[in-house]
Amino acid sequence: MDLLKGLNDKQKEAVLHTNGSLLILAGAGSGKTKVLTNRIAYLIQEKKVLPADILAITFTNKAASEMKERVEKLVGKDSKNIWISTFHSMCVRILRQTIHKAGYSNQFTIYDADDQKKLVTEVIKELGYDEKIYPAKKALNMISAQKNDFITPEQYENQMLGDFVGTKYANIYRLYQEKLERNNSLDFDDLIFKTIQVLKEYPEVGEYYQEKFKYILVDEYQDTNNSQFILIETLGLKYRNVCVVGDPDQSIYKWRGANIKNILDFEKNFKESKTIKLEENYRCTKVILDAANEVIKNNCNRREKSLWTMNDEGEKIIIYNANDDRDEANFIANTIIKEVEAGNEDYNNFAILYRTNAQSRVLEEACINKNIPYQLFGGVKFYERKEIKDILAYLKLLINPKDNIALDRIINVPRRGIGDTSIDRISAYANENKKSMYEALLVIYEINELRNAAAKISAFTDIIENIKDSMENKKIADIVEMIIDKTTYINVLKAEGTDEARDRIENIYQFIAKAQEYDETREEGTLANFLEEVSLVADIDNYEEKNNSIKLMTLHSAKGLEFPHVFISGVEEGIFPSYMSLSSDDEDEQEEERRICYVGITRARKQLYITYANARRQFGKTVFNTPSRFLAEIPDQYKNDLSVKREEPKEKLKKPKKEVKKYTNFSTTNYNILVTPTNVDIDFKVGDNVEHDRFGLGVIDAARPAGADYELTISFETLGVKKLMSKFANLKKK
């Protein structure tokens, strides 16, 4: 098989460069997956590299599955020995073999967000802190940030010395981690954190995997955080054959710890590396691609590249200015219906993208009212439904009796008369005697304070022990059915007789079907492996291209996907770019919003629609936003504006003055905007001399409405031009 056939010159160069580190800067739609898969096949077929010596990492199960299928077509059965997986799946695989060295059992369980919140709430309560002052969500965000930067509780504690509030959070982190270890459980961030610890602290483990993975390939490298960088650097320490593929212009996950510097500084960290740019786009029309290039070039923190394509010119981008969010949703729905009824397209060729999940409600209602089939991503995920989490908790307890969070969830589910007071006493006894809660349950008749509840508790442990005794050589689906039968879970729901109960029963049957599918497709699947797969599934992994329905999802969820027709809705200041980014002093916050816009634009293959509304309901009130700066950054030659003259919103609070001035946005393009308030007052005007406590003295060059506030463009004497939100800038007039 000619593995270079059909590749352009730059793609061939990337496939043929097999020795030493390699950075592939791959623009949107430039065929990076083909390059990666052909490179793997080339290593095996031409360079005679053993498949087991290759590690390929990507970010979603969907992407990993696609890569596996492509590689299998190229190299056949040898592909089974290649490690192709997500970061977290790879780490679980390593930890199942090695974590016992760090004092854990290999049968550890993985906590989801709900489990983590419950555990940290328990920690805050145990430490005697007020959760209003030290909220669980903030504590978890802090803990996640430390783990993403590979900072231990002890290191964080040292950093916070002398900081009263910081010390409290350090205590929360320390006790949270201690409880995780007692429960023989890991949270999502621990999967990478613990893998690095084992590799570094146990030299024989590190040396084994450094020798094993002679060639490492990492997709979507711009999305890696500091811990992931350390992990790759550690694994590639011996052979330095690290190939990373990514695009700084598509780095959109700073909020979950991604560090764009990992890709921007790759040549510094791997000094012997070579860089290859993939700039030919095979996805978009020329119009869509040129528009994307015009938008993203306004960012400073990037690697220079310009995508080009041999595709057709294509249709202009359709712009629609709606009266309000309902008008916007109806325009989108009617446009889709018109195309489908004309026989031009199927429903599955359309995607509606938006900045936040809250925007989906009105769009969903429009689809329902017009009988448009749709698939929503970002709602309540299947594995987060109560009944599914209950069954999963039973399964977790069966393999990991130390999992107190799982036990606490199901000890009284279905209801068996075990009250909160009894559970608190069990927990207290377990803590005092350094046992797990389940170990305490097994000696329940020895605990005087719990004699009245002992019979009910014993009935629960009898169920668990009975299932454990019967589990050997049983399939996963059989174990699930045993749980349902012995707990009478479905019978209890049937007795309720409500529509909600019937939906829950249907979900349980779907879960059994999932277990049956797992049994049929995994030759040596274990209960631990099944729970691992379920724990690591992402919402977008359920995306089905052949499902004839339109797709509704956030712009973040759409990354990695493409559609013939794309609607980007709510393209307004304060929504996209977000109000938080406009309020931040960090310019990269606004640059990331522009990268999100770039990602959204390049999801479209044939036709792109961009919509915005004069008014929309937000936070229980009507707000009046101005068109997003991103619209102005797309040259008119690429746009077809379908907007018509519309009535002013009736709820408008203040009629703007007619004075119009020029405003210069991030690019050199000038466009007209009103510099007077539309619905808020402002204390500053263009030309005012002001002082900022960090940036010093400056002059206001422009004032731009942004949601319920104003964005001020200020030229500072020492730091140059900054964009700040009026309400949060704390400016003083001079």
Identify whether 168 is a catalytic site residue: no
Q: According to the model, what pLDDT value does residue 244 have?
A: 97
What pLDDT shows up at residue 406? Answer: 95
User: Is residue 212 very low, low, confident or very high in pLDDT (cuts 50, 70, 90)?
Assistant: very high
Q: How far apart are the first and last CA of the chain?
A: 73
Structure tokens at 57: 């990492």
* Residues, the chain: 734
What's the pLDDT score for residue 659? 38
pLDDT at 714: 83
| pLDDT for residue 650 | 45
Window from 319-328, 480-489, 540-549 with minimum mean pLDDT: 540-549
The one-letter amino acid code at 381 reads K
Confidence of residue 261 (pLDDT cuts 50, 70, 90): very high
Which residues touch 84 (CB under 8 Å, ≥6 apart)?
56, 58, 64, 67, 68, 71
Contact 372, 333 (CB under 8 A): yes
Provide the pLDDT for residue 170: 97
3-state secondary structure of 82: coil
Torsion of the alpha carbons at 665, 670, 672 and 675, rounded to the nearest 10: 40
Residue 222, CA distances (Å) to 12, 226, 294, 334, 545 in order? 22, 11, 21, 37, 25
Identify the active-site residue in 194, 396, 514, 603.
Answer: 603
Which of 244-248, 404-408, 525-529 shows the lowest per-residue confidence on average (mean pLDDT)?
525-529
Residue 507 is which amino acid?
N
Residue 632, pLDDT score: 93
Q: 728: which 2 tokens?
A: 């949060």
Q: Which of 18, 33, 197, 516 is catalytic?
A: 33
Helices (H) and strands (E) in the chain, counts: 29, 23
Three-state DSSP at 77 gives helix
Rounded to 10 deg, the angle between the 226-235 and 203-212 helix axes is 80
Q: Closest by alpha carbon to 368, among 234, 550, 212?
A: 550
Mean pLDDT check: name the lowest of 138-142, 187-191, 429-433, 681-685: 681-685
303 labelled catalytic: no
Would you call 234 exposed, middle or buried from its count of C-beta atoms within 10 A (0-12, 13-18, 19+)?
A: middle
pLDDT tier at 402, thresholds 50, 70, 90: very high
pLDDT, mean over the chain:
88
Helix (H) / strand (E) containing 623: strand 621-623
Looking at residue 672, its pLDDT comes to: 30
- CA 241 to CA 276: how far, in whole Å? 15
- Determine the pLDDT at residue 61: 87
Annotated catalytic residue 603: yes
Which tokens in the block code for residue 243?
């190939």
CA distance 376 to 366: 13
- Of residues 316 and 667, the one with the higher pLDDT is 316
Verify whether residue 250 is a known catalytic residue. yes
Mean pLDDT of the 424-434 span: 89
Backbone φ and ψ for 610, nearest 5 degrees, come out as -125, 125
Provide the sign of the torsion angle of the four alpha carbons 425, 431, 436, 442, taken in this order.
negative
668 annotated active-site: no
The C-alpha atoms of residue 369 and residue 351 are separated, in whole angstroms, by 18
What is the spatial distance between Cα 629 and Cα 671, in angstroms, rounded to a whole number? Answer: 10
Q: What CA–CA distance (Å, rounded) separates 702 from 110?
A: 51
**231-235, 426-430, 521-525, 538-542: least confidently modelled range:** 538-542
**Residue of 122, 189, 190, 219 with catalytic role:** 219
- At 480 the pLDDT is 95
Give the separation between CA 441 and CA 453, rounded to whole angstroms.
Answer: 11
Q: Which of 122-126, 281-285, 621-625 is least confident?
A: 621-625
d(CA 306, CA 290): 9
Tally Cβ neighbours within 10 Å of residue 459.
Answer: 12
User: pLDDT of 641-696, one tens digit each?
Assistant: 987 654 444 444 343 333 333 333 333 333 233 333 344 456 787 878 888 876 77
Is the confidence at residue 446, as pLDDT, over 70? Answer: yes
**Predicted pLDDT at 657:** 39
Look at residue 595 and tell me whether its pLDDT is greater than 70.
yes
**Active-site residue (options: 60, 250, 309, 607):** 250
Please tell me the predicted confidence (pLDDT) of residue 306. Answer: 85
Instruction: Please state which of the ranges 45-54, 202-211, 504-513 shows the lowest mean pLDDT.
Output: 504-513
**Strand extents, DSSP E, 234-368:** 242-246, 274-278, 317-324, 350-354
Of 207, 127, 239, give the one whose Cα is nearest residue 173.
127
The active-site residue out of 53, 187, 190, 220 is 220
Catalytic residue among 10, 12, 32, 605: 32
pLDDT class of 79 with cuts at 50, 70, 90: confident
